[in-house]
Structure 1
Amino acid sequence: MGSRLTELLGARHVSGYSASRLAAQIRALILDGRLTVGERLPSERALAVELQRSRSTVTRAYDILDAEGYVDRIHGGGTRVTLPHSYLAPAPIASETAIDMSIASMDSTPGLYDATVRSLPRLAALRGSSGYELQGLAELREAVARRFTERGAATSADEIVITAGAMHALNLVLTTVGRRGDRVLVEQPTFPHAIEALRRHGYRTQPTPVDENGWDPGHLTGVLLSARPQAAYLIPDFHNPTGATMTNAERDLVAATARSAGTLLIVDETTAELDIDRGWSPAPMASFSPSVITIGSMSKLAWGGLRIGWIRADRRLVGRLLALRSSYDLGTALLEQCIAAELLADLPSLKAHVRARLSAGRSAVADGLAAIGGLRMPSTPGGLSAWVDLGAPISTALSLAAREQQLILPPGPRFTTGGVLERRMRIPISYPPAQAADAMARLRVAWEHVSQSDRGALGDLPRSAVV
């Protein structure tokens, strides 16, 4: 069996390549995130045999990559993927006319106001209490637990902790389950603020690739078994930013492998309910293993300003979470909890609004990309965004050109642990159709500017990928 690099390259396609062109193909795999930073590449001899090329050609290709900073060659330690630089986010734009697509979220559900009014008697009934609810209101915890049970993971209210949003939940979990220097497996790409949280807590990240077609189960389970990370942070439902959903078979495999490796699975379900027309419903990852830690949020279903999230964990871990939480936080605001309980009481209406809104936004983005010419929107059956292949490593250049048009659209490297995925760009589908159409019109101007000024990057691409 050949190496993963040979599989990604396609031995038949590179059989006649020169050393420089072979190096360019490997470089593209690195920048696209399909080869992850730290991953070990085959030896020169082994790769030459697999590709049926001379060893001198492979050696020269590795030399080119080494000189450019894309691999690190250590005597006796093999050749490993690295990067010549890291991505630095540009400064924000201060303008009322700017469209900020760095945030993939929607404005509030139409039912928010009425839910707030209906929640006031609930709040009034709590005035005789201390007002501190470390674990969260029992009524809201029961509603969240009931939804887990409906989806296939039997859950009780005492396995739920209510938090001030999903990021609050993630930070509380990271503080509780590990320590600085621990290794954590993360998807590449993934939610940028999760990467920042992991780094702030001192974790070392180990990436595994995912795209709109899904995960590489062999790579993911291989990393779990070889690196045995303390934890793994995964977004298996409408993955942010690719929109992929992990199959039940893959969930079962990942959960079983994590148990064998002693790895805690931290599953982010913030986007789990954002279905447009997927056509099937997976079981929660928690249904495949009792040790899975799940975090969720109301921010995508209802409104980002409603700072309500939750953690689902076994009772023993809930006790540890609450013991730690009391040292810096004494509970989530009661009014928000009362509003969330009202909203969850009519979840079908809430999801119907989200489905209609995302469907309209998806259509506007698809039409806008079609007008640009050559850019094809991948299948996006739900979630917050489309993970668009630009056809060339120009994501940062396109992002900078878009800023000239007052459009804030982060490049692909923003969603990675090491500045890769320059061929990709996350385009949210969560904006109102008119605003999305305006954003795509601005993106078209930026694309034309980049395509005119960077013929070198675009010239070798098929016509279908170029304006």
Structure 2
Amino acid sequence: MINVQFSNSGLHMSSRRLGSQSLQRLLGRWQQAPSRTPLWRQLADALRLLILDGRLALDTRLPGERELALTLDVSRTTIASALAHLRDEGYLESRHGSGSRVILPDNRSVPTLSTAGMALDLSTAALSAGPEIHQAYTHALTAMTPWLSQTGYGQLGLLSLREAIAARYSERGLPTQADEVMIVNGALSGLALVLRMLTGPGDRVVVDHPTYPLAIAAIQGASCRPVGVSLPQIGWDTDGFAATLAQTAPRLAYLMPDFHNPTGRCMDSATRAEIAAIAARTRTTLVVDETMVDLWYNASPPPPLAAFDPQGTVITLGSAGKSFWGGLRLGWIRASSRTIATLAQTRDTLELGSPLLEQLATQWLMENARTFLPARREMLKTRRDRCAALMQTHFPDWHFQTPDGGLSFWVELPDRLSTLFAARAEGIGIHLGPGTRFGLPGAFERYLRMPFSLDSAELEHALLRLKPLWRTLNQHHTLVKRSMV
């Protein structure tokens, strides 16, 4: 049961205490020594980054100063100075006898760039609204009139929208009926609903590694344990996937075969067939996230992974967020009619459906997608190619593969500098997505996700500001390594 307490600031859930070992894993390689930057400031910068990324959740209680000093192998003075600095900035609240609790400046905000005083966001892979969004809402307001005489509730969503989504699946090679579709409030909401229906505390959930960070958060939020299957340099490791399913007996597996986030790769038909066969053989439910499916630049993806599953046990998640606009906050679940009916019963304990206006707007966008999606893809392809050229010119020691779709590059750095680089970038007003966000604790310190969704001029401006910061950090790190040889 969730323990709810009252305080001077209102109603909130009781704080969760984070162990010192867990915090050490989250921090990764935060320390750069020797350095002109004081050690306490390096630690404060690294902790602030964890808070802004959401990896240190609001209301989390940090370990005590003495415990942290022992775990991080620094002086207690260093710990005290770092925590005091974060308290002054408004990121921590400390009370005698209860330690330090994570908050945000003014204690009512959410972790966004505006609350952090930052100017450029290179941590989010998403687009602003195009003119078609205004058209969609204008149409939706008119189409809304007949629905105003009704309650507006509906666990499955508007029949006309579900029919439109079912038709799209059928066109892509997966015959689908409206009763095999449920409208939800975004793909992440759909994943949370599936987890609620299929899993219990302590269950294992297999994921690609790296993967979408909010999927990891949803899995952990359901009290489940994510188990990663490492992605090779190219494609997917089907042998590793099979071995992991056999060894861990997970309740389900969450995959992103269509322009995977963060790598941008696309699973070919043969691999989809093999993954589906492995899941069927081990009786493992596959949850397939197709959030990026419309964002292809060279060739459209193969048929949905569920099309390779004759037993109909694959659950597919879709979203309007990346294809159209994140502000729609609308997604869907495609599964067997029996699974959809069970999900509807599960949803009864959470909410009463999705907003009608957003459903009507999304239906208009789907019906008119052919008139604006090609231009959107062409624009993104241009931005992708420009981003690649800028990185090759200004960051020649970064390694990456050009993605066939999606919204970002998965960049390999020459050393484990991701957290340090992101923390220093924050100091000049640029928020980055360090690789550690996209994996289990301690992983991907050598990686950085670089979105190309920004306007090319804005992106170039950001990269030019990052260039001297990276050069200084990398040169210093190289000198330290040489001195240790």
Q: TM-score, normalised by structure 1?
A: 0.77
Task: Give 1:398's match in structure 2, choosing from 415, 421, 444.
Answer: 421
Q: What's 2:235 paired with?
A: 214
Check whether the contact 2:117–2:429 (CA below 8 A) recurs between aligned residues: no
CA distance in 1 between counterparts of 2:134 and 2:300 reads 32
Q: Within the alignment, does 1:433 sit opposite 2:456 as a pair?
A: yes
Deviation of 1:120 (Å): 2.2
- Secondary structure at 1:127's aligned position in 2? helix
Q: Within the alignment, does 1:445 sit opposite 2:464 as a pair?
A: no
- Secondary structure at 1:409's aligned position in 2? strand
1:394/1:459 CA distance change after superposition, 3 Å: farther
Task: Give 2:384's match in structure 1, choosing from 362, 368, 388.
Answer: 362
Q: What's 1:8 paired with?
A: none
CA distance in 2 between counterparts of 1:83 and 1:100 reads 25
Letter in 2 for 1:171: A
Matched residue count: 379
Deviation of 1:180 (Å): 1.1
Per-residue CA deviations over 1:163-187 (Å, capped at 9, x if unaligned) read: 1111111111110111111111011
- Secondary structure at 2:332's aligned position in 1? strand
Q: What's 1:338 paired with?
A: 360
Task: Give 1:287's match in structure 2, choosing from 293, 307, 310.
Answer: 307
Check whether the contact 1:101–1:427 (CA below 8 A) recurs between aligned residues: yes
Q: What's 1:199 paired with?
A: 220
1:458/1:166 CA distance change after superposition, 3 Å: farther
- Secondary structure at 1:267's aligned position in 2? strand
Per-residue CA deviations over 1:389-412 (Å, capped at 9, x if unaligned) read: 112111111111211221111211
Superposition pairs for residues 133-144 of structure 1, below 5 Å? 133-144=154-165
Task: Give 2:343's match in structure 1, choosing from 313, 321, 335.
Answer: 321
CA distance in 2 between counterparts of 1:393 and 1:276 reads 31
Q: What's 2:26 paired with?
A: 86
Deviation of 1:360 (Å): 2.6
1:106/1:280 CA distance change after superposition, 3 Å: closer
Deviates more, 1:347-356 or 1:123-132: 347-356
Task: Give 2:439's match in structure 1, choosing from 416, 436, 440.
Answer: 416
Check whether the contact 2:388–2:402 (CA below 8 A) recurs between aligned residues: no
Q: What's 1:305 paired with?
A: 327
CA distance in 1 between counterparts of 2:452 and 2:429 reads 18
CA distance in 2 between counterparts of 1:436 and 1:167 reads 28
Letter in 2 for 1:90: L
CA distance in 2 between counterparts of 1:398 and 1:306 reads 33
- Secondary structure at 1:379's aligned position in 2? coil
- Secondary structure at 2:328's aligned position in 1? coil
CA distance in 2 between counterparts of 1:438 and 1:231 reads 43
Letter in 2 for 1:304: G
- Secondary structure at 2:466's aligned position in 1? helix
Q: What's 1:275 paired with?
A: 296
- Secondary structure at 2:424's aligned position in 1? helix
Check whether the contact 1:212–1:387 (CA below 8 A) recurs between aligned residues: no
- Secondary structure at 2:182's aligned position in 1? strand
CA distance in 1 between counterparts of 2:230 and 2:184 reads 30
Q: Within the alignment, does 1:132 sit opposite 2:153 as a pair?
A: yes
Deviates more, 1:142-151 or 1:84-93: 84-93
Q: TM-score, normalised by structure 2?
A: 0.75
Check whether the contact 1:212–1:242 (CA below 8 A) recurs between aligned residues: no
CA distance in 2 between counterparts of 1:132 and 1:457 reads 62
Check whether the contact 1:212–1:378 (CA below 8 A) recurs between aligned residues: no
Letter in 1 for 2:353: G
Q: Within the alignment, does 1:157 sit opposite 2:205 as a pair?
A: no
Deviates more, 1:339-348 or 1:356-365: 356-365
Check whether the contact 1:365–1:440 (CA below 8 A) recurs between aligned residues: no
Deviation of 1:91 (Å): 3.6
Deviation of 1:105 (Å): 0.3
1:316/1:455 CA distance change after superposition, 3 Å: same
Deviation of 1:211 (Å): 5.1
Check whether the contact 1:301–1:350 (CA below 8 A) recurs between aligned residues: no
% identity of equivalent residues: 36
Q: What's 1:383 paired with?
A: 406
CA distance in 1 between counterparts of 2:233 and 2:133 reads 32
Deviates more, 1:110-119 or 1:148-157: 110-119
Letter in 1 for 2:360: C
1:200/1:83 CA distance change after superposition, 3 Å: closer
Letter in 2 for 1:391: P
CA distance in 1 between counterparts of 2:478 and 2:461 reads 26
Superposition pairs for residues 199-278 of structure 1, below 5 Å? 199-210=220-231, 213-277=234-298
Deviates more, 1:408-417 or 1:117-126: 117-126
Structure 2: 5+ residue stretches without partners: 1-20, 28-46, 53-112
CA distance in 1 between counterparts of 2:319 and 2:372 reads 14
Letter in 2 for 1:287: A
1:439/1:177 CA distance change after superposition, 3 Å: same
Check whether the contact 2:293–2:301 (CA below 8 A) recurs between aligned residues: no
Letter in 1 for 2:153: Y
1:95/1:371 CA distance change after superposition, 3 Å: farther
Deviation of 1:459 (Å): 5.9
1:286/1:405 CA distance change after superposition, 3 Å: same
Superposition pairs for residues 53-202 of structure 1, below 5 Å? 85-87=25-27, 89-92=49-52, 94=115, 98-202=119-223
Structure 1: 5+ residue stretches without partners: 1-68, 70-81, 461-467
Check whether the contact 2:118–2:431 (CA below 8 A) recurs between aligned residues: no
1:424/1:211 CA distance change after superposition, 3 Å: farther
Deviation of 1:367 (Å): 2.5
CA distance in 2 between counterparts of 1:210 and 1:86 reads 21
Letter in 2 for 1:416: G
